[in-house]
């Protein structure tokens, strides 16, 4: 199972959270990654945590002020990138260009989408993984696997129908080991979460709870 902790734009200590994630990753069979702000990718990657960018712009090197360039993210320690998170939406053409940019720089890709139909559309673009995240459940504390389990199982089926090699993750409202287990039971290969770990008083304990409860 894969767990990706998104730090979003929270005012938190990214190095401390990443250090905790690296420690729990080393002690368990669960693979844990972290997605800090772009400015923190360098120091976060130095902790040994598997580091993901929150976004990669659909551009090639050139005159693109303010755009996170795939090569720059990789050079600073990112090994993968989220694309099309519900808080950073792209068009289908931009998603395709962002995947190509990430491939150019050797970054793994997770493309987010709202529902199974969108999952099928983005899976056809050839990312490493897709993540189904109904936007109305993000930050709600109610996991998608509980609110509407069929969204997860249908997303798994939709992706498999396009490309069985594409992993399927689920996000939105994930906060407990029960949520992680439910996602796995529905066929998901991993989960995306944010505040439950990134804003926890003890991120290591929060992560331990996710993988051992």
- Residue whose pair of structure tokens reads 């056809």 in the numeric block: 124
Query: Annotated catalytic residue: which of 64, 71, 85, 213?
Result: 85
Rg for the chain, CA atoms, rounded = 16
Backbone phi and psi for residue 37, each to the nearest 5 degrees, phi listed first: -60, 150
Query: Annotated catalytic residue: which of 133, 136, 157, 178?
Result: 133
Which residues are within 8 A (CB) of 212 and not within 5 positions of it... i.e. 6 or more apart?
28, 177
Helix pair angle (92-105, 116-123), 10° resolution = 50
Per-position DSSP letters for 68-124, written without gaps between them: --HHHHHHTT--EEEES-TTS---HHHHHHHHHHHHHHT-EEEEEESSHHHHHHHHT
| 55 included as an active-site residue | no
Angle at 5 between CA 82 and CA 146, to 5 degrees: 95
| 85 included as an active-site residue | yes
The rounded distance, in Å, linking the Cα atoms of 178 and 162 is 29
Report, as residue numbers or ranges, the catalytic residues.
Answer: 85, 133
């Amino acid at each position: 199972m894969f767990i990706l902790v998104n730090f979003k734009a929270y005012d938190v200590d990214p190095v401390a959270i990443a250090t905790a994630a690296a420690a729990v990753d080393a002690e368990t069979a669960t693979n844990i990654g972290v997605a800090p702000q772009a400015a923190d990718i360098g120091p976060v990657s130095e902790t040994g945590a598997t580091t993901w960018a929150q976004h990669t712009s659909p551009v090639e090197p050139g005159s693109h002020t303010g755009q996170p360039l795939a090569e720059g993210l990789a050079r600073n320690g990112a090994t993968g990138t989220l694309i099309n998170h519900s808080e950073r939406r792209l068009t289908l053409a931009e998603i395709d260009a962002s995947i190509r940019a990430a491939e150019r720089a050797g970054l793994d890709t997770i493309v987010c989408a709202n529902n199974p139909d969108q999952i099928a559309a983005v899976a056809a673009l050839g990312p490493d993984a897709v993540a189904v995240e109904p936007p109305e459940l993000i930050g709600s504390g109610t996991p998608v696997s509980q609110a509407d389990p069929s969204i997860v199982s249908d997303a798994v089926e939709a992706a498999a129908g396009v490309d069985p090699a594409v992993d399927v993750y689920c996000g939105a409202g994930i906060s407990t080991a029960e949520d992680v287990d439910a996602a796995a039971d529905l066929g998901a290969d991993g989960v995306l979460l944010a505040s439950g770990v990134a804003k926890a008083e003890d991120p290591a304990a929060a992560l331990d709870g996710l993988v051992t409860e």
